Structure 1
């Protein structure tokens, strides 16, 4: 257990054996022996390792171990393996704390629902248009109507999807990943991405859960999930009501306003206008040329759409504490905080601004 966790924590910290050895004043050979399980560190060296890797010493002996299966990364081909190792370590650490927390609840209490798809979905999808229709069916089944979805994370968590955010610096070469822990779908998004891109990743991953096993031969799953995501975030009927049924031209500011109302990028909204037949392919091409000329494909103009955050894990930790399923020490461990910091937070002794600064500092230190 210790050897595996040490190696994972080292990779998650982005350190080589030599670099870690230098940090703690040991030889690289000593680190190698620890990771191979041939020797164990002394208590003093254990504390040094924990400090260097920014984990609590309990991390190395955590009883809960999860297996994230069916992992698929949404990344660029140039993303270094070292970065993926850091993401993997961060995700597994958070997933383990999630799983341990859920196991502390009694069997009679279900803090999060079991994920299940609606029964009335079609058995097979033969076109990208049907993938869009599927998105609207999901909206109706989840009673979301056709209005903007203001919180995608909350929407998915309420249906039993585990959402994990990672602060690992990726130079914007990683959007997210998806997998499963047992029967629970897990979606990971990067905090380095803009809020609208995070939302599209979440909708795209939901698309994978919905269309999996339903696509007819010849239908590309990635394209189907993109079509699903676009329609889920910005339904055709809503877009027509906003822009009109037929347009000769669309002002870029209209797309910017759509972005901030529906949480979808200007570029994605432009593609949706083409998919819905509101503009002709020629008009869409001209607008895409304008985007390229102004550099809007790389960075869109105007105020950025705000990031989404997950509070469910913290909420359930405090709920477990309130119900006396756990004590302060375990609560602090599950939140990755020191006991003293947790006690201050629990007593509401830290101002909101100071608390946010502390959390940002901890996140930066973890990377």
Structure 2
């Protein structure tokens, strides 16, 4: 029996976030039949295949494509109330997106070989994260100035960035595809500063290697520190705030947010990591932040001016169309847009 077909039925159901009972109800097929399809015991006839495709909102050819994506261990950041079904749906939608991404790169003969700039380093103390972040900035030629676009920086260094439209309970995930291609997935609904921080937190999961004594909670804290250190290098944070402070005005933090693209909250954590402020000062800040509306208004008024969106897939798609390496029909499948939408959105020069 066709195992590829069975796997695609299973993946499509997970991607849609449906149980077998729910898919049976939507398709008009029996739960037993769907189970047998997913186990590869039997295949649906053409009429039932069309019912499945309609219920799952997919084209029929999806079920006959062999998957080219194998995810390694996934570092998944989410809040507890994001259920297992939602987690599985995100995972399989990411796989579907990456299949199209890699197929497009293969058509264009793009070979992006990722190299971890700190592959030989191991973190034994959390303070060593500062050195690791500095090494990444140096080896990726980022200098010490604010990074205009984190997404662009990641994609320039051969890391796939996938944005998903999810509830705020989902933060992000990071993994390797086919054991060699790094991928970061982020919630597109986040404020720009949170999106930048999340992308770099997930980068920490991809790049950093931790000694065996680190707990998962300590690893998460270290990845947070790594994100802060990439956003604002130690020397620059000290230049902004000084070596030690007993008082910091919210307006100072707002200016740092606007210039560096790091949230006011993350700046305070960064200051605590570098011992610029005390733990009690950090606690006091969070009390005031959570209880004073003017403080929250200041955060919103001081947003970093950047879209932080990924455009690379679309750029490759348009390049393939312009060079006649892919047809509009193929581009339609890859981009999940109608042929007419694609054609009317493009202008030749």
> What's the TM-score, normalizing by structure 2?
0.87
Q: Which residue of 2 aligns with 1:198?
A: 195
Q: Closer, same or farther in 2 for the Cα pair 1:44/1:343, shift >3 Å? A: farther
- In the alignment, structure 1 residue 149 sits paired with structure 2 residue 147: yes
Query: Per-residue deviation at 1:295?
Result: 7.7
1:213-362 counterparts in 2 under 5 A? 215=211, 217=213, 220-294=218-292, 301-303=299-301, 308-347=308-347
Q: Closer, same or farther in 2 for the Cα pair 1:75/1:295, shift >3 Å? A: farther
Q: 1:98 aligns with which of 96, 101, 107?
A: 101
Q: Which residue of 2 aligns with 1:212?
A: 209
Q: Which residue of 1 aligns with 2:127?
A: 129
2:50 and 2:60 in contact (8 A); partners too: yes
Aligned length: 340
Q: Closer, same or farther in 2 for the Cα pair 1:90/1:122, shift >3 Å? A: closer
Gaps of 5+ in 2: none
Determine the C-alpha separation between the residues in 2 that align with 1:179 and 1:71: 5
Determine the C-alpha separation between the residues in 2 that align with 1:4 and 1:126: 41
Deviation per residue, 1:35-72 (Å, 9 max, x gap): 23333334344333323222222211123431111212
Deviation per residue, 1:13-38 (Å, 9 max, x gap): 12222322332333333333332333
1:12 and 1:87 in contact (8 A); partners too: yes
1:71 and 1:179 in contact (8 A); partners too: yes
Q: Closer, same or farther in 2 for the Cα pair 1:298/1:126, shift >3 Å? A: farther
- In the alignment, structure 1 residue 33 sits paired with structure 2 residue 36: yes
Which deviates further from its counterpart, 239-248 or 127-136?
Answer: 239-248
Q: Which residue of 1 aligns with 2:169?
A: 173
1:180 and 1:186 in contact (8 A); partners too: yes
Which deviates further from its counterpart, 158-167 or 301-310?
Answer: 301-310
Gaps of 5+ in 1: 349-367
1:74 and 1:174 in contact (8 A); partners too: yes
Query: Per-residue deviation at 1:133?
Result: 2.1
Determine the C-alpha separation between the residues in 1 that align with 2:122 and 2:114: 21
SS at match of 1:55: coil
